[in-house]
Structures are given as structure tokens and as C-alpha cells.
Chain A
Amino acid sequence: MRPSFFHHLHPPAIPAAQARWRHTLGAGGTAVFLMLLLGVTGILEMFYYVPNPEEAALSVQTLTYHVPFGGFIRNLHYWSAQLLLIVSAVHLLRVIFTAAYKYPRRFNYLLGLGLFVLAVMLDFTGYILRWDQGICWPLTTGTNLIKTIPLIGGFLFRLAVGGGDACQTALTRFYTWHIFALTLPVVVLGVWHAFRVRRDGGIATPPARLFLDRTRIPRDELVRREAAAMFIVGILLILLSVFFPAPIAPAMIDKPSLNAETRAPWFFLWVQQMLKWGDPFIFGVLIPLGILTLLALIPYIFPQPADSDIGRWFPKSNRLAQVVVTVIAIFVIILTLINT
């Protein structure tokens, strides 16, 4: 068979061990598929979305209820975004639990962590673009949180929002952040991340001298597996989009009414729960940033995994990293459940 463009995006053949589901969980590839889908559905939404405080919520209603397949497109965009966060988190856990972040891959680990942060910011800005009664309090608390940062808080707030009362003014900036200023960095970091996977010798496996399984699979087989993953994820997204529509609320009139949504979007429920404990700067800024810093430092200051352990599930030599990441995950999940 003459290889197509899509085949040429892959190496001619790769070690079979690097492409096993039980090794990769297919998480990175699924994230790429979701990002492509988010790009396509996002462009389609832009044909109808009006980034203006008076009209934004109405244009979302038009898209959802009047445009043929508009609601479906919006639901696909919504569910792809939620799934992307989950798949990215699974990808991160896989990389830690298989000790895949060791040098020379530790720089790529940082690129991946950066992509994860950008994905969270894109999810939040996208959620705000609904500009209906469901978004005012999460937007107010989220942007007031920025103001609590000493010295640069006020500047960062103006950078994010453009000043004034966020519920009146943030739309223009959040639109630009969402459509371009966060998306473009995702494209750049994403391409760099994928390039570094190949440059660093593919998906992490033990070094060749320690590795007995020398079988390789051709790229035909790799493309076939990717197509299968896309098919399964695509079916799941279609089912979710048909049966569970994306949230929508009545348009915001001046200030939200008393029954407006006061709960954070699900991926920030854990932060909202911590904010109930006290000082917003400590619980809303320092602790989340501290967790992020700890994750970033794992390949640099934690005990290094042995070469023979790279690419094996739950090896002994990076136990500490596994335990730390598990504790963080359980902490976040429990806080989310308490606040549900």
C-alpha cells in the first residue's frame, strides 16, 4: 500500500511494546483527537457566537435551539473539553506510574504539564463565554482570587479581565484568551510535545540492552489502532452529546438573580471547597500552585527511577513519586466529592 499523508506522520515501524493499550492507555493519542475535534466544533460555534455582553447568551441560545445541529455541535465541544481534562489527567498519571518522565524525557514532561494547565484555563474561559446566569459568581470569585496575589495581583487581574466589574466587562478578554491567546500556545506546545516524543526515542520503554521483546509493528497497524481509538471515543462523545446536553442558563440581566449558580465548574470544585476554609490567597492560589510546582519538580528532585524500570507499571525505584501523585489525586477527588 502506498503510504498516505497520515501514515507519514508516523515512523515506518515502532516497537510493539510502545503501542500496547495496557502500556499507554491511549491517553495521549485520545487527547490529540479531542483537541482536533475541539478546534473543528469551536470554529463552527464561532459562526454564530456574538462576543458582546448584551448578545452573547442569546447567541448561545440561538446556536443551541435554532441552528440545525447547533446544539449537537455545542454538546460535542462541551463534552470533548470535559473529556480532555480527564484524559490529560490519566495521561499524567500513566507517565508517573510507569516512570516515563526520566531524563531525556523530563523536558517533555514539563511541556505536557504546561499543556494540562492551558487545557484547564481553556475549559474555564470557554465556560465563561456562555455569559449567562450560571457564570457570574464563578467568574467573580475566580478573578477576585487573582487580585489577592500580593504586588502583581491587580496587574494580573487587569491582564485577564480588562478591569472593572468582571461580570460586566470580562467577555472581550475571555473571548480573545479562549479563541486565540490560549489556543495558539496549545498548538505550539502540542506540536512540540509530539515532536519530542519521537526525538526522545518514542514512548518510554526500558533501554534496548535490557529489553527482550524486539517485535515491531508497522505504521499501518499503528494507524489502525489510532482509528479504532478515535472511533470508540467518537461514539462515546456522540452518545454523551445526544443524551446529556451541555449546561445553559437564562441570560444575565444586570446582576444574577438569587437562584443563580454558585458552584464552581466541576474541575474547580476542589478549589471552591478549600476556599471555604479561609484565606483566599493561601487556599485558592498558593496550594494549587504548590501542587503544580511539586508535579513539575518530580523529574528533577525526586529519587530517579532505575533505567530498567522505565516503562514498567508501578516500579519500586520511583515509589515516592507514585505515592505523592496518588495522594494529590485522592486529595482532589475527595474535596470534589465533599463539594458535590
Chain B
Amino acid sequence: MTNLSRRDFLKLARDGFLWLSGALALGGLLRFLDYEPNPAPKTEFDLGPADQYPLGSRTLLTDPPAVLLHTESGFSALSLVCTHLGCTVEQNADGFICPCHGSRFDADGNVTHRPADKPLHSLRVEITPQNTLRLRLD
């Protein structure tokens, strides 16, 4: 360091400042682009009066894509969003099939054919004090 000339020092300082401002500007740009302007997608859905869905029924919902089941043990729901890459699976005789990449699930949502490797998510269904159903995605 002792033989760093004045010229070299100034050059180093200039380059250092240029790189630093470039890095700061890039960081600012990335933060600028990282903002989410859209409201987060809905996670709660009102499904209306519970007695609309009699015991033993199996109802296809479109928003959110899910199947609502009413069994002896109460209400439950199975998400129809494929766990592979997010297309909506379609119902068939044995369960569900994804139209995008051919994953298959049985009627309980367990994987029977790749590429998906996780079962369909089960969703929470709550009965409100007004005896209506509320579906939660989280």
C-alpha cells in the first residue's frame, strides 16, 4: 500500500464509487420490481347455508376449485388445484386427473400417477354461528 501513487488512488476511488453506485442502483431496482401491487388472493370463501349440502353429498365448487364433502364426521373439502404445477384437476371415474401433465389422484386425493408427488390439499371448512359454511385455504 505504501507505493500507491496519487493517480492510482484516485482511479481506485473513482472505480470504487462507480461500482458502489451501480450496486446500489441495482439493489433499488430489484426492490422496486419486488413490490406486489395486487391484493393477495382470497383465502376465505362463503359457501352459503349448510343445509344446502345434505349428508352424503359431494359438491363440485368452481371458486375456489374444490370438492365439498358432507359425511358422518362432518364437512370437509378437497382442493382441486394440482400439487404439481397448479392446473385444476378434472373428476373422472377413479378420482381426478390433471389435464396439463397427466397427474392422477384417487377420490381421497392421494397420488396414483406421477408427475405430482403430493396429495391434493384438504381444506378447512367451518360452520359459522349462522349455520353457513366457510371454506379456508390457509
Taking Cβ atoms with an 8 Å cutoff, the residues of A that contact B are 137, 140-141, 144-145, 155, 158-159, 162-165, 168-169, 172, 254-256, 258, 262, 272, 275-280, 283-284
Contacts of A278 in B (CB 8 A): 114-115, 117
27 residue pairs of the A-B complex, CB under 8 angstroms, read: A140-B87, A141-B87, A141-B101, A145-B85, A158-B33, A158-B35, A159-B34, A162-B36, A162-B37, A163-B36, A163-B37, A168-B38, A168-B41, A254-B62, A254-B63, A255-B65, A255-B88, A258-B90, A262-B100, A272-B101, A275-B85, A276-B101, A276-B115, A277-B114, A279-B115, A280-B115, A284-B85
Of residues 80 to 94 in B, which have CB atoms within 8 Å of A's CB atoms?
84-88, 90
Beta-carbon contact of B114 and A159 below 8 Å: no
CA distance A254 to B38 in the complex (A): 16
Contacts of A283 in B (CB 8 A): 115
Rank and list the top 10 A-B pairs by shortest CB-CB distance, nearest first. A163-B36, A164-B38, A262-B99, A141-B85, A169-B38, A276-B101, A144-B86, A144-B85, A165-B41, A140-B86
Measured between C-beta atoms, what is the minimum distance from A103 to chain B in Å?
A: 28
Contacts of B85 in A (CB 8 A): 140-141, 144-145, 275, 280, 284
Beta-carbon contact of A137 and B114 below 8 Å: no
Beta-carbon contact of B100 and A162 below 8 Å: no
CA distance A254 to B86 in the complex (A): 16
Measured between C-beta atoms, what is the minimum distance from B37 to chain A in Å?
A: 6
Most chain A CB within 10 A, of B62, B84, B117, is at: B84
CA distance A30 to B40 in the complex (A): 45
Beta-carbon contact of A277 and B63 below 8 Å: no
Residue B95 interfacial (CB < 8 Å): no
Measured between C-beta atoms, what is the minimum distance from B40 to chain A in Å?
A: 7
Beta-carbon contact of B36 and A141 below 8 Å: no
Measured between C-beta atoms, what is the minimum distance from B78 to chain A in Å?
A: 17
B16-44 vs A, Cβ < 8 Å mask (1 yes, 0 no):
00000000000000100111111111000
CA distance A258 to B97 in the complex (A): 12
CA distance A145 to B63 in the complex (A): 23
CA distance A262 to B37 in the complex (A): 28
CB-nearest residue of chain A relative to B113?
A276
CA distance A279 to B115 in the complex (A): 7
Interface size bracket, B side: 20 to 34
The residue that B36 contacts in the complex, of A137, A158, A255, with Cβ under 8 A, is A158
Most chain A CB within 10 A, of B37, B38, B40, is at: B38
Most chain B CB within 10 A, of A162, A164, A276, is at: A276
CB-nearest residue of chain A relative to B85?
A141
Contacts of A277 in B (CB 8 A): 114-115
Contacts of A172 in B (CB 8 A): 37
Beta-carbon contact of A163 and B38 below 8 Å: yes
Contacts of B30 in A (CB 8 A): 155, 159
Most chain A CB within 10 A, of B34, B84, B101, B115, is at: B101
Contacts of A164 in B (CB 8 A): 36, 38-41
Residue B119 interfacial (CB < 8 Å): no
Beta-carbon contact of B63 and A275 below 8 Å: no
Beta-carbon contact of B86 and A255 below 8 Å: no
Asked whether A137 and B87 contact (CB < 8 A) given A272-B101, A276-B101, the answer is yes
CA distance A144 to B36 in the complex (A): 16
Beta-carbon contact of B37 and A255 below 8 Å: no
Contacts of B101 in A (CB 8 A): 141, 272, 275-276
Beta-carbon contact of A137 and B115 below 8 Å: no
Contacts of B86 in A (CB 8 A): 140-141, 144
Contacts of A145 in B (CB 8 A): 85
Contacts of B109 in A (CB 8 A): none
CB-nearest residue of chain B relative to A158?
B34
Measured between C-beta atoms, what is the minimum distance from A211 to chain B in Å?
A: 44
Contacts of B65 in A (CB 8 A): 255
Contacts of B39 in A (CB 8 A): 164
CB-nearest residue of chain B relative to A163?
B36
